[in-house]
Structure 1
Amino acid sequence: MKVLFLLLVCLFASSSVVQAQSQFSMVQYTAENGLPQNSIKGISQDSYGFVWLATEDGLVRFDGHQFRVFNHFNLPVRLNRMYRLRPAVRDQTAPGTGRNRVSYGLFLENEHIKLENGTAVLDTTWWPSRLNWFRSLGVGRSDYLEAQNIPDMLGELVGGIKRYLLVAGTTSSDYYFWENNWVRYYQHGKKQAQFFFPTATPLHFFVLGKRLYYYQDSGRILAFRRHQSQQSVLSGDILNDPVYTAHPQACQLYWSSNSDQAFLYLHKKLYTLQPEADGNFVTRLLIDGFDFEAQAIVHVHFDPTSQKVYLGSLTEGFFVLTRHQFQTLTIRGTPRENSLYAQLPYNAHAVLTPTGRIIGLDPRTGQPIEQHVSAIRRVNPDDDRVSLRDHRGTLWLRHFQSLFHFDARQEKIISHWTLSERGNVEALHQIKDGPIWIGIDGHGLYKLDPTNPRARLERVGKDSLTDITCMTHQSDDALLVGTHSGLYRLTISTRNLERIPGTEGVYIKSIHRFANNRIWLTALDKGIMLLGKNDQIISFPLDKNAYLASPHCIVDDHRGFFWIPTNRGLFQIAIQDLLRYSAWQPEALPSQPASHPDLFYLYHAKEEGFKTNEFNGNCLPCAAKLSNGYISLPSLVGLVWFKPETIRPDLPNSPIILDQIELNNTVLKTTGDTLQLPPDFKNIWFFFATPYAGNPYNLKLSYALVKAGSTLVASDWQPLDPEDFSVRYLSLESGTYRLLVRKLNGFGHPTYTRKELVLIIEPVWYETGWASVFFAVLLLLSGYGISLYRVRLVQRENARLERLVARRTDELNATLDELNATLQELKGSEAKMTDQLHIMSRLLASITHDIQSPLQYVALASESIPELLQQDKLANAASLGTIISDLTHKMRTMLKDLLDYMKIQVYGKRLNWDDINLRTLVDRKLALFKPLMEQNGCQASNEVAPALAIRSDYQLLSIILHNLLDNAAKFTHQGRIRIESQVDAEGRVELVISNTGKSLSAEVIDLMNSQDKTEHIDPTLKQNRSLGLGLLIAKEVAELLAIELSVDQTHEVHFHLLFEATVSLAGVTDQCD
């Protein structure tokens, strides 16, 4: 193959050198971006992974991205200036990493700060105990110099060193002690061996592990084993350096007692010295192209876990160099020419682009190379999006709207199709040795017989396949086609086309058929997807910033990982994590939280060797896997090459520490993980830290606060920003809480690094037991008081309501009385009106009987007078005239009485009281009824005393007597009428009118004798026809004059009129009508 490769180069390839790139990325930290001062006096790394720096302005802790400074503001030291770091206990859990479980930072006033697990505290016992032990050996504090590093600036300044101590082994009680050219070895403080070694200066001694070495000016290294020394042999990368071969003495040794590491620096190259058991060293090139002299580097520390090199400068600050795990191959040309896309493996060391470029690494030198295939360059100089190598090894590629078919050697064109009327070729695929499937932009799916150079394109499928992006086969009879609007499956034998449910509207960017015939997809805005059983589409969550929303394709490295290039970097994902996620069933894992298990995506960015984080896609194929193990990915600037087996994932699996607590803006000093807080705090801020030298985007941090007695559920976890690894609460209710902080450690079944704090919030005074009792008693008393108050309030309200009800009742009763009175008045008025109507009707009847009849008689009599006069019957005429005169006089009197009575009924009567002679009044009334009495054959006698007088209304009294005498005269036939008077003992006058004849009915007697007033008498009685109008008038007028009117009956009817008093007759004047 190598011969063929050289032959092809000679025949049709022109070549040029691909540009090489630096092997590391560098970040420099100074006082302007994190350091308190630019002079580094020592570098040490603890067992957690924190890097400690000694400076002239304090102790600095570096977690990989941020610094924290310890000085007299937060440490009990007098001055901030330091002059070294010294190891105390090596980390035996990670040998060869250069980490110390315990170190000490020495400040200028001989104050020792203990550095352990990310913390820095003053230790006042360690150094005095160490001095006491040295004194027991007869060595004073100022009698020796302890080795710190090579080069040792302090030792060179001191000069004339008599005693020199080098810490060895795992603790500070293991050491080598040089004195007067004798070297003694102590283990656990006891001398184990000694030997003689004359030297001009002890500053070239150094220790790795428990072995002592000496660096000679010639560039050679001596290794000591007990009392013997041997010349160490160097092997490895440094032997390939021509400068070392010519000038080994030009090497500069860098050694640090803190890191237990040694390096050789030669002509801007840094080599590690890896000791072997036989005392020899294997060298490995670590850094190439960094000028130590220009940057005044005096301290070197290498972290093999993160592949970081930490350099301390005497004047230029702190440098962090990241060894590149990825290599970017670029070509000489424009930026557009370096933006590469599709590629195919060309041989074990190079790839072929659709434009005919061959880009790779020289297998002998490892240097990048670029070559060109002239046959391809002539027909396709600028379209590098689509290419395919079929099962026969021949090459298919597009040039926009043209399709070319080259032979396996890329020497000649087998066929050529122009598709100008259709569109660009977007995808090519072949199933075994079957037809070439072609996706044409805007036109759909076609197939072509690869064995027929004159074959014509045959369209397959429907118009829905016009926007094809990619293709692969699910089986020999099933072609999967990705489009802008979903994933389709074409059954080749039946040409049945169906869209996979769940992919509607999804832009499919790539389709991959990997192990176990699983179909994996990448989709725009969706990330990674899996076509599961029964065509179930399983989508996986995006990363926190959704970089995976722009995936280009998936590369299976066959080592258990997928590599997904995106527009924002490269992701590495464990396949088993994805499969575990896809098979997760909540009902099958009742102990798990009710959410999918967390997925860890390892993010790789440009500091690891890319020239840009933006990879290229929308090309087929978008990645190439070479037989030598390299994977090649196209980017916006060159091809990114890497071997998956050499990539050391820097996983964030370091511990989490509680760095600081601020309570009410004051730093709180605490020990342990239980914190008791006052009840009235206003602001508490928990600051956490975790060492991680990788990209901080890989830190997946979260926290949860759970009150005692509560169950932690998945929704309790809240994300944390790695750049602000803190939790803050303005207040919390009293009680006991668990503050949990966790970090996803890496690949595999989700495992977390956790940090747990117990927070005890003291109850406020009103939440204490005595306060509860007090409040309970107060509540009872308040309840009793409120109840009592409410009872009294109800009582007062009831009393008020009773008064109100009584008042309203009185008002209602008064109103009812008024209504009743009004009703009675209305009833009386009604009765009175009825009575008046009755009286009117009786008056009409009386007028008809007593006036109309006499008038008719007068009319008839008057008509007969002329006849009597003509007949000269004067006596009869005179008699008739007399009768007419009497009748008219009687009618006049009767009408006058009726009118007077009617006036009383209608208008009322104002009484005119006068003294009246009863006998005279009776005589006048008898004279009025004399003709009627004579006609009825009755006799009348007036037996009233002549001198008897009363005081009354003459007119009304006349009406009474008139009606009573009228009644007697009408109903007495052939009988007697007698009027008499008498005076009782009290001086009251009684007038009695008696008559024989027709008796009165019992109803009339009861009515006349009733004490009720006339208006209160039953109307039916008053309407009785047996009761004459005259009697009713007499009763009513008697009531008006306060005269007691009564009637009794034996064989005669007696009407009694009882007057209150009599008056003297003297001065009584006679009254006439």
Structure 2
Amino acid sequence: MRIWALFFACLYFNTYGQRYTSTWYNIDNGLPQSSAKAIVKDKYGFIWISTENGLVRYDGSSFITFNNFKVNNLHFGEFIGDPALDSITVLNNFQENKVIIKNRLPKVTQLHSTDKIAFTRGNEFVHRVANNILACNFYNDIHYFIKLKNSTYSFGKKNLIIYKDAKGSETRITIPFSYKDLNTVFVFNDVLYINDLKNRKTYSIDRGKVSVNAKPSLFNDPNTKVYWQQITNQTFIINNSNIYLVEGKGNELMLKFLVKYDEIGSHSYCSMYYGKEFNRLYLGTLNNGLNVLRLSDFYVAKKEADFSNNVYYASLPFSKSTIIAEDGTEFGKNGIVKRFPFGDNDNYLMMYDKEENILIRKRNSVIRFYKNSGYKKKDSTFIRQGFESFLKSGNLFGASFSNFSESELHIYRNTISSKPDFVFDFKSFVNTFLQYNENEILVGNSDGLYSAVLGSNTIKPIFKNIHVKSIIRTKDNLIWIMTNKSGFYLFKNGKLIKMPNDRNNYLQSAHYILEDRKGFYWISSNNGLFKVPKKQLLDHAENKKTPVFYYRFTKKDGFLTNEFNGSSQPNAYALENGDFVFPSMDGFVFFNPDEVKTYYPDKCKIYIERVKIGNGEFQYFHDTLDLQNTYKTADIFIDIPYYSNLDNLYLEAKISGKENSGWEPVTTGKELKYTINNLDPGEYTLNVRMVVSPDGKYEEKSIKFTIEPFFYQTILFRVAVSVIILIIIMVIVQLTTNFLRIRNKALKQIVHNKNSELKETSLNLEVVKSDLRKETEYQKKLVETISHDITTPIRFIAMLSQKLYESDDLELQKKYFDSIYKSSEQLYQFTLNLKEYTELYKAENIFEEVEYPVNRILEIKKKLFCEIAKERGTTIINANEKKIYSYVNESILTAIIHNILDNAVKNTFDGNIVLDIKENERKSTITIADTGAGISAEQIAIYMNLFKNPKLETPSFKGKGLGLHMVVHLVKKIHAEISFRQNDPKGTLVEITLNKN
């Protein structure tokens, strides 16, 4: 009874309820068909919806329909099973097929008889009750039962309930109920509850033991509707449009008020599910789709009368839980509390003076509403023309004036009066000021932030080119500068530090900041209300690289508009009861910052297992994704069960592998996906991370994917090509080596031959060099001998010519003439020999092309020297009678014979000279023998030695005659042989041997 007393004590607590926003989903925006017959959440966080056209998985932003089963009947019913065991099953109509949802995917599985929820037993129809929908019908001709984990409750006729435990033992329970009362049946934590609406009683049966509570409650109220779903263990009590959720431990029941939903009876609702993690209520209908109620902790207070103006800028805290607007309306979070007769005033400025009277601007005047009259009495003070605003900061009051080109700021130590204590002139419009310290103020203008010193005209610009709307000192004594379209700044150490914008740049026009007790700032803007850890902003002020994660609240969270209002004066307040209040373009937004939840994804629930390649169908993979080389684009889907505003889902991805990328944000739209394109074949890793807590902690998930290469990009192909190229290179190298080896061998042979030739040539060159040297020496010595031999005859002729000139004797003159003649003749012959010798010495051909008779030379020379020999008493005899032929150069041989014969004639007096020639098969021998004075044995040795030793230096010709030396040289030139010996009885015998070959 104490348990029930506690239950009923809490039952009607806080019946004002939560606000909500409603979003419908049907065939037009996500569902395959406009029915949502059953709703359940699996262990992975995804919500499953049973429809008449398949099963639907919902992750908070997108729906995935599964209706490609190989079955003919896609009309599915209620869910049964156990989500905690990753086993959710559902049957289609007529129980033809069974689908099991496991590992986030449904598939058709084998249907057993025990899986059926309706069957026959004998002649009796039996039906299992696994849920109790809002409009459920129970028939007397059907036997119903509820199956628990280890027991079963069967409902018979005549008030009989049979409890059967796990061992099969039965307990028969009799209580007054009818099949109509089964509409109020539900099971909570294996305890069966039956409500008797007629007698206002509630029965609870725990393992066969019955307890009864006879006190009226919402459970047994005739206006109550019960929705119970066994698989989710959730029971909803619906009474007068108020929806409650049954909670408790064991059999201790409590009702948690969820929402007052006046439209609960307007649609054919048949399924319900409450997502506690994200504070969402899901309502499924038979024909209108799915309705998602986002339960809100925000309250909007506004005037409900027609044509009411609910645009508010200025207000003042009025009580512990209320505020008052410029029109005298006092608002609490549940709406209007009271009205004061303030009349029509400007709605931008309100302020308390030192006596807590309320000051409101009305054009160029200030209206004062007196506190001691309950703000009913008022007076008005005209300030002056151009009066724009009045302000208050610390213990200073201020007023601004403008003539549309310049403005003045008047500062008062007391209330606004006719005479200011300090006046400051500006060329821009003054919006606000803040007392920085005792003698210094910060002034926010339309063109920047200034510092002004009281008692001095010193005005120092701090930051230019920003439009300052308000200057706020939070309770932690930090100063924040709010601007129009330039974001907000922290004023620290005389400088402004820019705070980062949110990712949509909505904080470019931030209005006001309030700090809660948990270290968070709440910032209103032109597009939403933001919550951010103060520590993140201060860390960013120290290090610009520190990220800041804003949490954004929008209309989806319970506002009537996303646009909040700002003012030069404080217009957002932390009330004494702990509530915050911000003015908006449609009423005041009240909330308790300690009760408003922020929703982050579960760090363990991020799944990367779906891909769509090009325009193809979804494909599922596990851990590793293989992409064909023909892919163009691949959308890798990131499945995160997140049922709150996607603006607060911070998701980033990057690729590492053959190509790398930095972290880049994933666009949070209807589908979360990362697109891969233009990647080279190879192995990659896709890393995805998301923020899972207000302090910016990341949770990271990665998968590997491989882009298969074309055949010519595979390692095998590359290895094969490399091997082939290597073989080709080896073959080329081998062929080249063989070719080079052969060529090298040939070159070596050529080099060898050339070396031999060069050696031979070198030797020949040495011989030629020696010969040339000798020839040169020979010619040099020849010139010397010629000079000597010519000088003597010429001197002799000159001497005879002088004697001839001096003598007058004719006989003597005749004798002299004869001597001159003979000497000239001799000299002439000498010069002829010299010319012939010079030409022979230069000759290169030592053999004739046609042979000639040698006898002819002997005969010619005999005739040449015959007269000379006669004058000397000598006879020349040609003893040869047979013609003998030779190929030796005729001119050279003629010169040799001429010189030998000439010497013989010169040295023979009164004697004989015999010319002869003989031959055999190999040689021809020419003999010239005289009976003259002859040559000595010493001279013979010299000439023979000169002939036999070609390297022997040619001795000087001087004093030894020219003929024989020339003869020796010419004989060697024609490769003949010569010999000298004494003739018997006297004279000289010379033999010249010519080779026939």
**TM-score between both structures, scaled by the size of structure 1:** 0.68
The structure-2 alpha-carbon separation of the partners of 1:103 and 1:537, relative to structure 1 and needing over 3 Å to count, comes to farther
Q: In structure 2, what is the equivalent of residue 30 of structure 1?
A: 26
Q: In structure 2, what is the equivalent of residue 514 of structure 1?
A: 474
- Which AA in structure 1 matches 2:331? L
1:856 aligns with 2:798: yes
1:692 aligns with 2:642: yes
Q: In structure 1, what is the equivalent of residue 992 of structure 2?
A: 1059
Q: In structure 1, what is the equivalent of residue 74 of structure 2?
A: 80
- Which AA in structure 2 matches 1:563? W
CA RMSD of aligned residues (A): 6.4
- Checking the alignment, whether the CA contact within 8 Å between 2:49 and 2:55 is kept in structure 1 is yes
- Which AA in structure 1 matches 2:269? I
Corresponding residue SS for 1:80: coil
- Which AA in structure 1 matches 2:53? D
- Checking the alignment, whether the CA contact within 8 Å between 1:406 and 1:415 is kept in structure 2 is no
Q: Which has the higher helix share?
A: 1
> Equivalents in 2 of 1:79, 1:905: separation in Å?
131
Q: In structure 1, what is the equivalent of residue 942 of structure 2?
A: 1005
The structure-2 alpha-carbon separation of the partners of 1:285 and 1:786, relative to structure 1 and needing over 3 Å to count, comes to closer
Q: In structure 1, what is the equivalent of residue 9 of structure 2?
A: none
Q: In structure 2, what is the equivalent of residue 152 of structure 1?
A: 135
Deviates more, 1:34-43 or 1:885-894: 885-894
What per-residue deviation string (whole Å, max 9, x for no partner) do you get for residues 223-259 of structure 1? Answer: 2354756352459xx9xxxxxxxxx97x573533456
The structure-2 alpha-carbon separation of the partners of 1:855 and 1:41, relative to structure 1 and needing over 3 Å to count, comes to same
Q: In structure 2, what is the equivalent of residue 68 of structure 1?
A: 64
Corresponding residue SS for 1:39: coil
Q: How many residues align?
A: 936
> Equivalents in 2 of 1:547, 1:199: separation in Å?
60
Q: In structure 1, what is the equivalent of residue 228 of structure 2?
A: 256
> Equivalents in 1 of 2:835, 2:630: separation in Å?
109
Listed as ranges, the matches of 1:607-756 within 5 Å are: 607-617=556-566, 619-621=568-570, 623-653=572-602, 656=605, 689-701=639-651, 721=668, 723-725=670-672, 743-747=690-694, 750=697, 752=699
Corresponding residue SS for 2:297: coil
1:1029 aligns with 2:988: no
What is the CA distance between 1:31 and its match in structure 2? 1.8
Corresponding residue SS for 1:453: coil
- Which AA in structure 2 matches 1:253? K
The structure-2 alpha-carbon separation of the partners of 1:299 and 1:252, relative to structure 1 and needing over 3 Å to count, comes to farther
> Equivalents in 2 of 1:779, 1:487: separation in Å?
71
The structure-2 alpha-carbon separation of the partners of 1:129 and 1:450, relative to structure 1 and needing over 3 Å to count, comes to same
The structure-2 alpha-carbon separation of the partners of 1:889 and 1:120, relative to structure 1 and needing over 3 Å to count, comes to closer
The structure-2 alpha-carbon separation of the partners of 1:495 and 1:811, relative to structure 1 and needing over 3 Å to count, comes to farther
> Equivalents in 2 of 1:163, 1:557: separation in Å?
58
Q: In structure 2, what is the equivalent of residue 604 of structure 1?
A: 553
The structure-2 alpha-carbon separation of the partners of 1:404 and 1:342, relative to structure 1 and needing over 3 Å to count, comes to same
| Aligned-residue identity in percent | 18
What is the CA distance between 1:740 and its match in structure 2? 7.9
> Equivalents in 2 of 1:579, 1:38: separation in Å?
50
> Equivalents in 2 of 1:643, 1:1022: separation in Å?
142
What is the CA distance between 1:33 and its match in structure 2? 1.9
The structure-2 alpha-carbon separation of the partners of 1:896 and 1:682, relative to structure 1 and needing over 3 Å to count, comes to closer
1:554 aligns with 2:543: no
> Equivalents in 1 of 2:904, 2:362: separation in Å?
157
> Equivalents in 2 of 1:1017, 1:163: separation in Å?
153
The structure-2 alpha-carbon separation of the partners of 1:961 and 1:988, relative to structure 1 and needing over 3 Å to count, comes to closer
Of 189, 197, 201, which aligns to 2:180?
A: 201
What is the CA distance between 1:563 and its match in structure 2? 1.2
What is the CA distance between 1:214 and its match in structure 2? 3.6
1:128 aligns with 2:114: yes
> Equivalents in 1 of 2:86, 2:893: separation in Å?
147
What is the CA distance between 1:109 and its match in structure 2? 3.4
> Equivalents in 2 of 1:253, 1:322: separation in Å?
22
1:453 aligns with 2:438: no
Q: In structure 1, what is the equivalent of residue 927 of structure 2?
A: 990
Listed as ranges, the matches of 1:524-563 within 5 Å are: 543-545=502-504, 547-548=506-507, 551-563=510-522
> Equivalents in 2 of 1:755, 1:139: separation in Å?
56
What per-residue deviation string (whole Å, max 9, x for no partner) do you get for residues 368-389 of structure 1? Answer: 8887845x83xx57xx3x7765
The structure-2 alpha-carbon separation of the partners of 1:810 and 1:960, relative to structure 1 and needing over 3 Å to count, comes to closer
What is the CA distance between 1:695 and its match in structure 2? 1.4
1:230 aligns with 2:214: yes
- Which AA in structure 1 matches 2:413? P
Q: In structure 1, what is the equivalent of residue 155 of structure 2?
A: 177
- Which AA in structure 2 matches 1:345? P
What per-residue deviation string (whole Å, max 9, x for no partner) do you get for residues 827-869 of structure 1? Answer: 867876776676567556655543x44653565466568x55x
- Checking the alignment, whether the CA contact within 8 Å between 1:232 and 1:280 is kept in structure 2 is no
What is the CA distance between 1:554 and its match in structure 2? 2.1
The structure-2 alpha-carbon separation of the partners of 1:186 and 1:834, relative to structure 1 and needing over 3 Å to count, comes to same
Of 290, 297, 316, which aligns to 2:263?
A: 290
1:915 aligns with 2:915: no
- Which AA in structure 2 matches 1:433? N
1:804 aligns with 2:787: no
- Checking the alignment, whether the CA contact within 8 Å between 1:223 and 1:279 is kept in structure 2 is no
What is the CA distance between 1:128 and its match in structure 2? 1.3
1:433 aligns with 2:388: no
> Equivalents in 1 of 2:776, 2:883: separation in Å?
33
Listed as ranges, the matches of 1:211-250 within 5 Å are: 212-214=193-195, 216=197, 221-224=200-203, 226=210, 228=212, 230-233=214-217
What per-residue deviation string (whole Å, max 9, x for no partner) do you get for residues 459-491 of structure 1? Answer: 779x9x979876656655675667899988778
Q: In structure 2, what is the equivalent of residue 4 of structure 1?
A: none
> Equivalents in 2 of 1:165, 1:612: separation in Å?
50
> Equivalents in 1 of 2:431, 2:906: separation in Å?
142
1:54 aligns with 2:50: yes
Corresponding residue SS for 2:746: helix
Corresponding residue SS for 2:968: helix
- Checking the alignment, whether the CA contact within 8 Å between 1:254 and 1:299 is kept in structure 2 is no
> Equivalents in 1 of 2:938, 2:827: separation in Å?
28
Ranges in structure 1 where 5+ consecutive residues have no aligned partner: 1-21, 92-99, 239-247, 586-594, 708-712, 763-770, 934-939, 1063-1073
- Which AA in structure 2 matches 1:571? F
Listed as ranges, the matches of 1:108-507 within 5 Å are: 108-110=93-95, 111-113=97-99, 120=106, 128=114, 142-143=125-126, 146=129, 148-155=131-138, 159-161=139-141, 163-165=143-145, 171=149, 173=151, 175=153, 177-183=155-161, 194-197=173-176, 199=178, 201-207=180-186, 209=188, 210=191, 212-214=193-195, 216=197, 221-224=200-203, 226=210, 228=212, 230-233=214-217, 251=223, 253-258=225-230, 260-264=234-238, 266=240, 269-272=241-244, 286-290=259-263, 292-293=265-266, 295-328=267-300, 340-341=312-313, 343-345=315-317, 351=323, 356-358=326-328, 360-361=330-331, 366-367=335-336, 373-374=342-343, 377=345, 380=346, 384=348, 393=356, 411-412=378-379, 416=383, 430=393, 432-434=394-396, 436=398, 448-451=411-414, 453-455=417-419, 458=422, 472=434
What is the CA distance between 1:315 and its match in structure 2? 1.9
